[in-house]
Structures are given as structure tokens and as C-alpha cells.
Structure 1
Amino acid sequence: MEKYISVKEIEEAALSILPKPARDYYKSGATEEQTLAENRTAFQRLRIRPKCLIGVTQCDLRTKVLGHDVSLPVGISPTAMQRMAHPEGELANARAAQAEKTIFTLSTIATSSIEEVAEAAPDAIKWFQLYIYNDREVTRNLVLRAEKAGFKAIALTVDTPLFGIRRADVRNKFTLPPHLRLANFDGVLSTKIRSTKNGSGLNNYVENLFDKSLTWEEVKWLKSITKLPIIAKGILRGDDAVKAIEAGCSAILVSNHGARQLDGVPTTIEALPEIVEAVRKYNVEVYLDGGVTTGTDVYKALALGARMVFVGRPALWGLTVGGQAGVQRMLNIFRTELEYTLQIAGMYFVFAVLQLLLTLPKIWFAMSRPTVNYEIK
């Protein structure tokens, strides 16, 4: 694994290995995939303003997230059906997070169950990503199982009344390979995704399963059935972030679902400053995922107010090329790049001053000035 020295190299290797249906499923975005590309290039438009000769003596990446200690501010986002990438799938990914002392998030539509992941990585900080089903008993059961298995938070996905149009999946008539199942379910809910008459088998699977009528009242219902903190995942607007907090969420995950839901939405790094400002008086944590591929990307998100950054596809690429070792290599590339960035930029993580000069794209002009200096003290 040491031969890979960047996340990009791991990605290229993984894409050369994966079968076409799985490869296209993991890497594709919604419709024209404009936001998919912008998720990355938006980071590239941000400029770091280094401070020189500040006397760097240490660089400590440790922080606390929802009261739990993590060794670096990079965790693993939920991604579905990971056994398409590697036979151990989510188990290997969770073990990697455990070894690197960071957070692993398990998808509702995983190919390893809540209980299997808990057994494989008992000491990992584990979050459970939740979709709310029309059948509330299905949802309740998932939440209670996660709490019983020692998961530390529920990441409620709020941007998915239905899955977006992903043309590669439609073209491929994507289905889960027949030797795999959605392990958190029994019966038809675990196997229905293995076949499709037309279009994406995943979209056909969730049709009539997800509750499109959800409002923020459902957060109050969730809080009535669990003591776990609830994270609103999929927020791109300040007003929605406030509604989530006022409904009872403990944190906000700024996310556009890997640009897989609706093309043309803001990138997550563009949306982050508005959301951080909107919830400032509530003293809650804000996280980000989407388009993060380098340690400098992580640095920029932290500078704009994110407490933690999560990566989904990079974890899949690491899983594909090397199982647990591949995911750990991916995390350690981020760790090294972030350490170098922090020291060369001239700041101590968390305690010192960070300055960024932002050149924001036109979509953001209506909400902010085109050039902004940010300072975090």
C-alpha cells in the first residue's frame, strides 16, 4: 500500500479494478454531473494565505466530536453496498476507522449488518446513517438496533425523499450482485435490489419505501425513541440548518450526497460558511463531506468552520485496492497532508489563526461578496 502517495492514485487504481456496474455506481453523480465536478474544483478556487516565521513546535490533529476523542478531523462517510468493492466491505472499513481512531458511519443500505460491524470493530466510534421508511417500525427497529450495538449517533439523511437520477445506473440497469444482500433487513427488503425490469434497481428498490412526506417533526419522533444524538445530514442552506437544530438535532453535516441527488446545487464548501454563521448562536458542531480529496481540502473546510470532515468515495477506493489496509493508507495520506499544510501555512491546529482568501463562483455572489477574508481564532 505504501506505493500510493495520494488519494488520486488510490482512486485511479480502484477504478481500474472495479467491475463496471459497481465502478459506475460508486463514482457517478446526478444527471449532467456538473455538481459532481464542482465539488472538487470549488476547493481549488480557495487560496491559503500562509503566515511565516511563527515558530512551529508541534502539530496536534486530535479533536473531540460530539464528546468523543478522534485522532484526526477526517472520518468516513456512509456509502452503500461496500462488499461490491471488497469481500469484507463495511467490516474492513470500520476496522480501519478503529485502527486510526476516527469515526465510521454505516449506511442503512449496507451489505454488512449493524451487529456484524459492531462485532468487527467494537472500539470504533460508529455512527448509523438513517433513512426514514414509510413503515415506521422498520425505522424504529434500525435505530434501536444501532443504539443497542453501541453506535454513538444517528446521521439522519434529510435530502432524499427519493434517489436522484444517476444515468450510469439507469444505463447499466444497476442491481446488487446476487451473492450479496442488504444485511440490515430480512426478506424482500434485503433481496429486492437484486433485480430490475428497467432503469436503476436502486431507485426501483426505494420506490414506495422512503417517506416523501417527511417534515422536521420526524426529528422530534426520532428523539422520542432514542437517546443518541441526531445529526442532520444533507443540509445546504442556513435556514434548514436552523430548523434542524430547533427540531432537536445535535449537529449539522453539510452535504450534497456526493452530488448524487440534484445537479446544480451548491458545492458543500460553498454552502459551509452560510451554515456555520446561521447556527453560530446555537453552539452546535458542523461537519462537511463532498469533494474532499487532499489534506489541503480538509484544511480549508476547517478554516471555514467545519469541526470534522468526512470522506466517502476515498474510503471506497482504499477499500477496493487493499481492504482495511487500503482504507488506513487513505486516512494516513490525509493525515500527512493535513499536518504538512497546517505547519507550512503557519498555524497550530485549533488554537492559532487561519486566514483564507476566497474566490467564490458566481452561484455564490448573490449570498456573499466575491472576495472574503476569513479568520478563525
Structure 2
Amino acid sequence: MMSGIQRQFPKPAELLELMQFKKPELNSRTRRLGKALTIDDLRIIAKRRTPKAAFDYTDGAAEGELSLARARQAFKDIEFHPGILAPAPSVDTSCEVLGARSALPFGIAPTGFTRLMQTEGEVAGAGAAGAAGIPFTLSTLGTTSIEDVRAANPDGRNWFQLYVMREREISYGLARRAADAGFDTLMFTVDTLIAGARLRDKRNGFSIPPQLTLGTIVNAIPRPWWWIDFLTTPTLEFASLSSTGGTVGELLNAAMDPTISFADLDIIRELWPGKILVKGVQTVADSVRLRDVGVDGIVLSNHGGRQLDRAPIPFHLLPKVRAAVGEDFTVMVDTGIMNGADIVAAVALGADFTLIGRAYLYGLMAGGREGVDKTIEILRTEIERTMALLGVSSLTELGPHHVTQLTRLVPLPDCPSVQHT
């Protein structure tokens, strides 16, 4: 028994101070986004609101999805080393990338068929990026025109991702249009010679455009808003595809050219007046060669695990590439980023910049433009908090001493050569 404690009836005035009720949020979109604290939370909302085929196209990867799982695990398998007695009363998250400032050390990666995820599509992504002061990248397989993206982000930085198509003039024409529209950077993508085996899409019968089948109708019943948006908004248009009707893999295989080479890169460099990045780099040797031929930078990427399964993990490759190419060459990284701490770790280990793809699309599917804003807000908050807890005030203070990459997948020792008879 407790003794010596005096009890009394609570005073009405004191009760009133405790009974502070929040004003109810009547906007359903704002209400559901307000509950999201992480990118994983946005993913859960996106899955609930998006038909299975469209969600799985975004969420899935190639074959056994090992590359994607390993890339995400690599970011989890890090250890931070915070400094002590190193006050960081304010944190500057801005950086310079390709000759201009970005308010945050990440931009929005190119994503194809984006309006299939949510009808606002690239317009929402470009508008949110412009408002946040970060770059937006439009895909060759985007569902909004180059000119409409510029209109949605007239004062921000727009980048264009380019595939070299079988019909070269299609690619050249898109590059010229992007340059005329004021896009400042071209992202030349080299890892999509043919389509990867995206098995979720095959199992779902996912096609472009979506087809109404018994399965899709049943799946749509609890998600009528998606079909209402799809059927009552302008028809999907693809700047690079003259015809549609098939799986994503079939469309890619019909459009892409597995014979692209450094000669194609030379042609594009002559054609493009701005900065050029090469995206899809997965070896140290290729990184050095691209630096030596004079491109402006590279993106270490395995295409979000959507092409070659068991491909190298870009985050693991990063320190080796940085050491090989030196400090003055722009190196970016993508694939697997789901937290602002992932971005801080990448910068600490040598990345000049990072790109987010699925994280952006989860926000888009969860709530359109507001959902993309929420993605950026979540990542910004996580970046600022991680930097402050590490005791750094700016991105330039981050270094390899702040991060250890823990080993889970360790290469076996080289085996002696074996003569086969």
C-alpha cells in the first residue's frame, strides 16, 4: 500500500486542459496521408488503393526479385558512427549537382507508364519536384509529354531519360524535343537491351493498355476510384511508342535495340547540348571508361532490380567506383532507397546524388500530387534527423568514417581454374 499520498477530485478546469481534441480532417486524402510516417506506410496505402496488376508492376522486379531484395537489405546492413560534442543546430541538405543546386540530395528517377499507377502521373511528380527544389526525370516511356512536364515544372530542373530505340530517329527526335523544352540533363540508359523477366506482370496478365477481364473486374470492385480515373481522363499516350497492346516486356522487346554501343553514345553526345549521364552502370571498369570518354556523370543502377536478377548491388559498388574515378566525377546511385538514412549513407560513401523511383510511385499511388509531396517530406525529415544525430551540419561534412557497410553476402575466394575434358 502507498501511504502519504493525498488524493483529491480533479478540478473541472484541469480536466478541460487535458481534453484537447484535434479538429477532424474531412479531406480523406489528407487524412490517410497524415497517417503515413515512412515510405513503407505509403506503400501499404498504395497497395490498398491500386489494382493488383498496376501495383505489382511498380512493386515487382525481375525473376526471383533477388536484386531488389539485396539492394534494400544493403541499406539496412549499415552501421552509422555519430560524432559526439559536435553540435549541429541547423542542417543544410542542399548540394550542387551537374552545375546547379538541389535543395535535397535526391531527385525523382524516370519511371515508365506512370499514369497507370495514378492518373496524375508525371504532372504530379514534376510539380512536387519543382516545389521541393529537386530535379525531376521524365522517362522515354512516360505517359505525359515533354512539353506538359515542362509546363508542370516551368522553373525547376527537368531531366530526360533516353532509350536508344530500334528506330533511331524516334530517340533523336525525343532528345531534340527535350532540349527545345529546356531540359538540362539527358540520362542515357544502357541496361535495357531487352526486357527483364518481370514475372508478376506475366502472372497478372498486365498489359498496356490495361484490359478488362474477369480477374481485373473482381480486383477493381473495392477500388472503383482507380477505374473511374482511368476511364474518365485522357487516353494514355506514349511519346516513343507508336502502337500498344501487349505486356510491358513485349513492348520493350519490340522497341529496344540490343546492339547499342559506344558509337550510339557518341551520336547522342553530339546531338545533346546539355549534361549527359549514363544510367545503368554496374562495374568499376565501365565507370572508369565512361569518365575517360568525357560524359558528365554516371548512375550506378541495376534498374531497380527489374532487368538482370542477381545483378550487382549499386550501394555496395559505390565506394569502389568512387575510389576508381576520383573525387571530381559525378557519381549517382539508385535502387533500394526507402529511407532518408539510405540517402545519407550513400552520400557519406561517395555519391554526389541519389534517385528515388518506387518511393515516389508509392506516394503517387497513395495520394496523387499530395502523396508525392508526402514522399519528399518524409525523406527530407529523415535526412535532416540522421544528419543531426551524426553531428554534421552539411552534406559536405559526411564521409566514409560515418558509415560501415556490414557484410552479409561475401564473395567466395577465387577458385583455381579447372580443365574440363
Q: 1:197-346 to 2 correspondence within 5 Å?
A: 201-280=247-326, 283-346=328-391
1:103 alignment partner in structure 2: 135
Q: Which runs of 4+ in 1 moved over 4 A?
A: 363-367
1:361 alignment partner in structure 2: 408
Question: How many positions carry a matched residue from both structures?
Answer: 357
Q: Is residue 183 from structure 1 mapped to residue 228 from structure 2 by the alignment? A: no
Offset, 1:228: 1.6
SS of the aligned residue for 1:150 comes to: coil
SS of the aligned residue for 1:207 comes to: helix
1:374 alignment partner in structure 2: none
Matches of 2:106 and 2:294, distance apart in 1 = 25
Q: Is residue 128 from structure 1 mapped to residue 160 from structure 2 by the alignment? A: yes
Q: Residues 156 and 233 of structure 1 are in contact (CA less than 8 Å); yes or no, is this contact kept in structure 2?
A: yes
Cα deviation digits, residues 46-98 of structure 1 (max 9, x gap): 10011111122321011111111111112111111111122221011100000
Aligned CA distance change for structure 1 residues 80 and 57 (closer, same or farther; 3 Å): same
TM-score normalised by structure 1 residue count: 0.91
Offset, 1:42: 0.8
Offset, 1:324: 1.2
Matches of 1:72 and 1:225, distance apart in 2 = 30
Q: Residues 256 and 267 of structure 1 are in contact (CA less than 8 Å); yes or no, is this contact kept in structure 2?
A: yes
Matches of 2:411 and 2:81, distance apart in 1 = 21
More strand as a share of residues: 1
Overall identity of the aligned pairs, in %: 34
SS of the aligned residue for 1:102 comes to: coil
TM-score normalised by structure 2 residue count: 0.82
Aligned CA distance change for structure 1 residues 127 and 353 (closer, same or farther; 3 Å): closer
Matches of 1:350 and 1:316, distance apart in 2 = 26
Cα deviation digits, residues 128-170 of structure 1 (max 9, x gap): 0110012111111000000001111111111111110011111
Equivalent residue letter for 1:249: V
Cα deviation digits, residues 240-292 of structure 1 (max 9, x gap): 112222333211111110000111112211111121122116x2111111111
Q: Residues 223 and 248 of structure 1 are in contact (CA less than 8 Å); yes or no, is this contact kept in structure 2?
A: no
Q: Residues 83 and 89 of structure 1 are in contact (CA less than 8 Å); yes or no, is this contact kept in structure 2?
A: yes
Q: Is residue 19 from structure 1 mapped to residue 72 from structure 2 by the alignment? A: no
Q: Residues 127 and 152 of structure 1 are in contact (CA less than 8 Å); yes or no, is this contact kept in structure 2?
A: yes
Matches of 1:320 and 1:182, distance apart in 2 = 19
Q: Residues 219 and 249 of structure 1 are in contact (CA less than 8 Å); yes or no, is this contact kept in structure 2?
A: no
Offset, 1:363: 4.2
Q: Is residue 155 from structure 1 mapped to residue 201 from structure 2 by the alignment? A: no
Offset, 1:364: 5.2
Q: Residues 109 and 182 of structure 1 are in contact (CA less than 8 Å); yes or no, is this contact kept in structure 2?
A: no
1:82 alignment partner in structure 2: 114
Stretch deviating more after TM superposition (220-229 or 355-364)? 355-364
Q: Residues 347 and 398 of structure 2 are in contact (CA less than 8 Å); yes or no, is this contact kept in structure 1?
A: no
**Highest CA radius of gyration, 1 or 2?**
2
Aligned CA distance change for structure 1 residues 232 and 71 (closer, same or farther; 3 Å): same
Aligned CA distance change for structure 1 residues 353 and 293 (closer, same or farther; 3 Å): closer
Matches of 1:48 and 1:131, distance apart in 2 = 37
Offset, 1:172: 2.0
Matches of 1:116 and 1:206, distance apart in 2 = 24
Stretch deviating more after TM superposition (105-114 or 242-251)? 242-251
Aligned CA distance change for structure 1 residues 91 and 365 (closer, same or farther; 3 Å): farther
| RMSD of aligned residue pairs (Cα, Å) | 1.7
Matches of 2:319 and 2:391, distance apart in 1 = 22
Offset, 1:315: 0.6
| Structure 1 gap ranges (5+) | 368-377
